Amino acid sequence: MDEPEDDPYGPYLTLWRSHWAELARHHELDLSEQTLANIRSTGDPIDLDQVRQVYLPLTELVNLYIEHKGLLYREQNEFLRLSERKTTFVIGVAGSVAVGKSTTSRLLRELLRREGATVDLITTDGFLFPNAELERRGLLDRKGFPESYDRPALVRFVRDVKSGEEGVTAPVYSHLVYDIVPGEKITVNQPDILIVEGLNVLQPPRPRKDGSGALVVSDFFDFTVYVDASERAIRNWYVERFLHLRETAFRDPSSYFTRFAELTEDEAVATAGDVWDTINGPNLVQNIRPTRGRATVVLRKGLAHNIEWVRVRKV
């Protein structure tokens, strides 16, 4: 078990899972095993007990933020003598490839919807540059690094949703063909809550030559979650997922990765390890993990994908 390194004067309060689970013990979980199976990502063994012990308290905390954000908005409107519509509450979910942030995002969407909110979920994959553009820029082998995204387009999308615009659209990315799908869009229409999931959503602004900083997508977030684990654990999960996909999605003739379907198990393990060591691992160390300290909540997983402790920002 990974022991948290606590700083009594630091910005986080650390709660072991047993303590965290007590926070929602009087709340009922209305979620079936089949629904959870539909939410669960490949290789993620999350069960209903973990949903009850980890994600119910997380949902309750999100609802507290929503409630108090709404109260502040109403009081500000009253003070300014305005009657502006309440803005969409935006949640950012960050973490490495294969750490389980997609499961976290979909679970949050499902649990928040069950409480009556309209909730949309988008992933930043849709804002990756198309492969042709990545190739033109010499970035095809750096897909997932911050520079491989159309960051201004992502910022405009979240800004427009936050501003209350109707019918805001986002591009669609296909993991099967490993590229943006031409002409296909996701439409977001004034939801109560928008969840934005991605590797680099907590990135701070890059300083300009004049010392100023541009807007970044995290400027529009009201609540953020970082899904964390040791690099050794995540690398293992990535390799396991690659082996599973070799037997499933990679065998689809339309898959970008069909060439991997006929690898032996040893060859597949070596290939996945090389991809991790040259692309996903460096991206985690250089760009993703350094943003962990900007999250509202950090969910820390152990080797078996179980959440072992939770950090909540206190300042």
The reply to whether 122 falls in a domain is yes
> Does residue 9 have a pLDDT over 60?
no
> Does residue 233 have a pLDDT over 70?
yes
What share of the chain in percent tops pLDDT 70? 96
The reply to whether 139 falls in a domain is yes
User: Looking at residues 244-273, what average pLDDT do you find?
Assistant: 93
Summarised one tens digit per residue, pLDDT across range 113-133 is 998 999 999 999 999 999 999
The reply to whether 299 falls in a domain is yes
The reply to whether 77 falls in a domain is yes
User: Looking at residues 83-91, what average pLDDT do you find?
Assistant: 87
The reply to whether 5 falls in a domain is no
CB 145 within 8 A of CB 278: no
Into how many domains does the chain fold? Answer: 1
**More confident site: 7 or 204:** 204
The pLDDT value recorded for residue 1 is: 63
Q: What range defines the domain where residue 82 resides?
A: 12-313
Residues whose CB is less than 8 angstroms from the CB of residue 277 and which lie 6 or more positions away in sequence, other chains included = none
User: Looking at residues 136-150, what average pLDDT do you find?
Assistant: 96
Summarised one tens digit per residue, pLDDT across range 283-305 is 999 999 999 999 999 999 999 99
The reply to whether 261 falls in a domain is yes
CB 180 within 8 A of CB 173: yes
The reply to whether 4 falls in a domain is no
The CATH number that applies at residue 19 is 3.40.50.300
The confidence band for 144, taking pLDDT boundaries of 50, 70 and 90, is very high
pTM of the model: 0.94
Per-chain mean pLDDT for the chain: 92
What share of the chain in percent tops pLDDT 90? 79
The reply to whether 6 falls in a domain is no
